[in-house]
Amino acid sequence: MKLENAVVLVTGGNRGLGKAFVTEALARGAAKVYAAARDPQTVTTPGATPLALDVTDPASVQRAAAEAGDATLVINNAGISLGASLLTSDLDEVRREFETNFYGPVLVTRAFAPILIANGGHLLNVHSVLSWVTLGSSYSATKAALWQATNAFRLELAPQGVGVTGLHVGYIDTDMTATIEGPKVEAAEVARLALDGVEAGAFEVLADEITRNVKQGLSADPSALYPQLAGVSSGV
């Protein structure tokens, strides 16, 4: 699909990568861009249309779908990272991450699927390189689950004329990664590459070198992805 004259909805569109998506879509000539956020007053991008949306609240999702029935591109971008451990953290933290990072996009996609089918639209889900490799937190599990949900959505929606693209990327230079050391990619560059993929009808977009290397390495022995475990006994 083309972004020119499209009607775009971006969850978490008030900051970080979401704000970059809003800016890039407007620059490509989108007719309208809904910047969705829990508090629409935090949306500051000129030309954007603020939209109240809490992706963890089914009633809020349904209200947003009723208000944005003209959407032709939905971008599931909203996400959180609490650094929760599947083994030792309070399970409420793990559930909170899953409610936002997995069930949130599922709720949004279910609500907007009829709209995208009617409008001949497209879906873009924001995954992570951590869909394929973990740093030990439940965040990776949420993104792995979302990756599989995206693949399932693609199979169901393609025969109905709706394309589905998954975005995989490493650390993005946003406030979410402000305390993390290591190479980061600019949010504007990620948004540009992702929307290039949408316009090309790509199944997946790998937005940085780290992600491309990890994806290529998935065919190797998985121990290669975890060098920190070299020499550690497996207990066998």
57-107 per-position pLDDT tens digit: 999 999 999 999 999 999 999 999 999 999 999 999 999 999 999 999 999
d(CA 66, CA 58): 12
d(CA 46, CA 57): 27
Tokens representing residue 40 in the block: 């629409």
103 is catalytic: no
Which pLDDT score, from 0 to 100, does residue 169 have?
94
Which pLDDT score, from 0 to 100, does residue 30 have?
98
Residue 147: band (very low, low, confident or very high) from pLDDT cuts 50, 70, 90 = very high
Poorest-pLDDT segment among 138-142, 146-150, 175-179? 175-179
Region 99-117 average pLDDT: 98
C-alpha torsion angle, residues 3, 114, 107, 175 (rounded to 10): 10
Residue 206 identity: L
Poorest-pLDDT segment among 44-48, 152-156, 160-164, 214-218? 214-218
d(CA 212, CA 170): 10
Average pLDDT of the chain, as a whole number: 93
Region 8-34 average pLDDT: 97
The one-character DSSP state at 2 is -
Selected catalytic residue, list 32, 34, 103, 143: 143
80 conformational bin, left if phi > 0, alpha if psi -120 to 50, beta if neither:
beta
Between 3.10.20.30, 3.40.50.300, 3.40.630.30, 3.40.50.720, what CATH number should domain 7-222 receive? Answer: 3.40.50.720
- Say whether pLDDT at 236 is over 60: no
Q: Scanning the structure block, which residue is given the tokens 């936002």?
A: 100
Rounded to 5 degrees, what angle do the CA atoms 112, 12, 107 make?
Answer: 30
- Per-residue pLDDT tens for 160-212? 999 999 999 997 876 665 566 667 789 999 999 999 999 999 999 999 999 99
Task: Report the run of H or E that residue 198 belongs to, with start and end.
Answer: helix 187-200
d(CA 187, CA 171): 10
Which pLDDT score, from 0 to 100, does residue 105 have?
98
19 is catalytic: no
φ and ψ of 37, to 5 deg: -155, 155
Residue 235: band (very low, low, confident or very high) from pLDDT cuts 50, 70, 90 = low
Q: Where are the domains of the chain?
A: 7-222
Helix H, strand E, coil C: the string for 92-150 is HHHHHHHHHHHHHHHHHHHHHHHHHHHHCCEEEEECCHHHCCCCCCHHHHHHHHHHHHH
Which pLDDT score, from 0 to 100, does residue 225 have?
73
Selected catalytic residue, list 34, 103, 139, 171: 139
d(CA 208, CA 49): 30
